[in-house]
Amino acid sequence: MNDNLHQLRCFGCGAQISGAEARPDFRCAECGDLFEVEYPGWARRQSHDRPNPGALKWLWRERKCSSEALDNSGVWRFRELLPILDNFGNAVTLREGNTPLYALPRVAKALGMDQLFAKHQGMNPTGSFKDTGMTAALSVAHERGFEWVACAATGNTYAAMAAYAARAGLRSLVLIPEGKIAWGKLAQAMDYGAVTCQLKADFDGCARVLTQIVREAPIYLLNSVNPYRLEGQKTPAFEIAEAFDWTVPDHLIVPGGNLANSSALGKGFRELRDLGVVSRLPKVSVIQAAGANPLVRSFAANGAKTLEPVEAHTRATAIRIGNPASWRKAARVIEESGGWCLDVTEAEIAMAKAELGAEGLGCEPASAVTLAGLKKLRAEGKVRSAESVVLILTGHTLKDADYTIEFHRGSLLSAEEAAGNEERIERLRRNALAVDATPEAVLAAMKGARA
């Protein structure tokens, strides 16, 4: 059976090639830009390849009751919209996706809203949204017979890659920047058996070295320049639309690092709309850390026509990226959907993260930029109180426990970073208390503790 209906289209010059023709670095031979997966049969109204919206909705819901591994995956459950394999039997899955959509009642109340939700992608098998992309792209590598896969990463990508490679029996190579990495993620790469090299370079430097390596050796590149990653990462858009009974929320708020995820989610909603499954797009807003905000600067400078790389600094290490590969795709999603691109400070990220923790959710610092960004959008009147909003939480809180502990101990932010927010930060802190080993002392500590 050949399920494969896709081709690749260059985002820059529009060149169309077959999947097999892509170069190892996934850059266009004509103009050097990135490719996007497209499905030519969908555009033709009468085509047999064009999926039928009513049938799809029914089929996807039925699969929730199935015991087949592919149907249990929140990515492959939607396989009619990602026909990228010759045979779906080659898919490598860890039952990713199907992540929870939580209401955020306390945060919503504080912001004067009544429809605020968090789609928690940290509830994936390796603890981040990267699993949805990795199951797609690694399945392609597996089907095409590669022995080695590789990525340069700030953390979550390599944790996901190493796990899926191990499942498929492939070897994996990880290039990571020296220092400033979250230990939980490195531990995962080791556990899943990756060959891990720490380079004296930042993320962008690691990505450059890896691009040279894959041009010379038969290694399959799994960075997000690989367009198949985005096919998996678009599926949370389907889950969100399904949860909203095939309408869409008014706003979707996404963290921005290398800018693939916002691009992928935007693509997912666009495809649903073009196929007639939903009738409109949510406004997609992308939030960056103020110390790693090249897209925000690019919008301010020239409406995102060009992008100047920046030297990136932020304690939210997952989005410490100064030269994002997918910036053009993300800019298009923001523009076509009517969303915004803005940045938030280190203190705003830390406070938002603590507030999400206090809702019983918790997330990585990089995920908390979404709530920090929403507060700004509310303050600027860009999100109205009656509108529905979904925050994309990208990673699990245990990925970077050091960050959380430092915040609650009071050692995360410098006086300069905390300036103006000291009281609010103090109210959010819950440091462990040193207490005598007697019932009286513990009861007294409980009485004195802040609610």
Binding segment (CB under 6 A) for ligand F0G, from list 41-49, 363-371, 377-385, 422-430 = 363-371
Cα(172)–Cα(168) distance, rounded to whole angstroms?
11
The CB-of-300 to ligand F0G minimum distance in angstroms stands at 19
The CB-of-60 to ligand F0G minimum distance in angstroms stands at 25
- The smaller minimum CB distance to ligand F0G, of residues 82 and 393, is found at 393
Binding segment (CB under 6 A) for ligand F0G, from list 47-55, 78-86, 148-156, 430-438 = 148-156
Annotate each residue in 188-227 with x if it binds ligand F0G (CB under 6 A) or - if it does not, as one string: ------------------------------------x---
The CB-of-41 to ligand F0G minimum distance in angstroms stands at 28
Residue 323 in the binding site for ligand F0G (CB under 6 A): no
- The smaller minimum CB distance to ligand F0G, of residues 277 and 345, is found at 345
The CB-of-110 to ligand F0G minimum distance in angstroms stands at 23
Residue 258 in the binding site for ligand F0G (CB under 6 A): yes
Burial of residue 329 (number of CB atoms within 10 Å: 0-12, 13-18, 19+): buried
Binding segment (CB under 6 A) for ligand F0G, from list 137-145, 335-343, 359-367, 408-416 = 359-367
- The smaller minimum CB distance to ligand F0G, of residues 165 and 259, is found at 259
Q: What is the 3-state secondary structure (H, E, C) of the chain?
A: CCCCCCEEEECCCCCEECHHHCCCCCECCCCCCEEEEECHHHHCCCCCCCCCHHHHHHHHHHHCCCCCHHHHCCCHHHHHHCCCCCCHHHCCCCCCCCCCEEECHHHHHHCCCCCEEEEEHHHCCCCECHHHHHHHHHHHHHHCCCCEEEEECCCHHHHHHHHHHHHHCCEEEEEEECCCCCHHHHHHHHHCCCEEEEECCCHHHHHHHHHHHHHHCCEEECCCCCHHHHHHHCHHHHHHHHHCCCCCCCEEEEECCCCHHHHHHHHHHHHHHHCCCCCCCCEEEEEEECCCCHHHHHHHHHCCCCCCCCCCCCCCHHHCCCCCCCHHHHHHHHHHHCCCEEEECHHHHHHHHHHHHCCCCCCCHHHHHHHHHHHHHHHCCCCCCCCCEEEEECECHHHHHHHHHHHHHCCCCCHHHHCCCHHHHHHHCCCCCCCCCCHHHHHHHHHHCCC
Burial of residue 221 (number of CB atoms within 10 Å: 0-12, 13-18, 19+): buried
Binding segment (CB under 6 A) for ligand F0G, from list 54-62, 81-89, 147-155, 207-215 = 147-155
Residue from the set 93, 128, 298, 388 that interacts with ligand F0G by CB under 6 A: 128
Residue 257 in the binding site for ligand F0G (CB under 6 A): yes
Residue 235 in the binding site for ligand F0G (CB under 6 A): no
Residue 261 in the binding site for ligand F0G (CB under 6 A): yes
Residue 153 in the binding site for ligand F0G (CB under 6 A): yes
The CB-of-152 to ligand F0G minimum distance in angstroms stands at 7
Residue 231 in the binding site for ligand F0G (CB under 6 A): no
Q: Which of 226, 210, 211, 212 is nearest to 164 (CA)?
A: 226
The CB-of-52 to ligand F0G minimum distance in angstroms stands at 31
Binding segment (CB under 6 A) for ligand F0G, from list 139-147, 234-242, 258-266, 403-411 = 258-266
Residue 73 in the binding site for ligand F0G (CB under 6 A): no
Report CA 22 to chain centroid distance, whole Å: 24
The CB-of-331 to ligand F0G minimum distance in angstroms stands at 12
Residue 230 in the binding site for ligand F0G (CB under 6 A): no
- The smaller minimum CB distance to ligand F0G, of residues 150 and 418, is found at 150
Binding segment (CB under 6 A) for ligand F0G, from list 3-11, 13-21, 150-158, 421-429 = 150-158
Six-digit token pair at 392? 């994309």
Residue from the set 19, 236, 266, 395 that interacts with ligand F0G by CB under 6 A: 395
Residue from the set 56, 189, 366, 377 that interacts with ligand F0G by CB under 6 A: 366
Residue from the set 108, 141, 170, 318 that interacts with ligand F0G by CB under 6 A: 318
Residue 259 in the binding site for ligand F0G (CB under 6 A): yes
Cross-strand bridge partners of residue 288: 343
Residue 367 in the binding site for ligand F0G (CB under 6 A): yes
Burial of residue 253 (number of CB atoms within 10 Å: 0-12, 13-18, 19+): buried
Residue 255 in the binding site for ligand F0G (CB under 6 A): yes
Name the residues that contact ligand F0G, by CB under 6 A.
128, 153-157, 224, 255-261, 318-319, 364, 366-367, 394-395
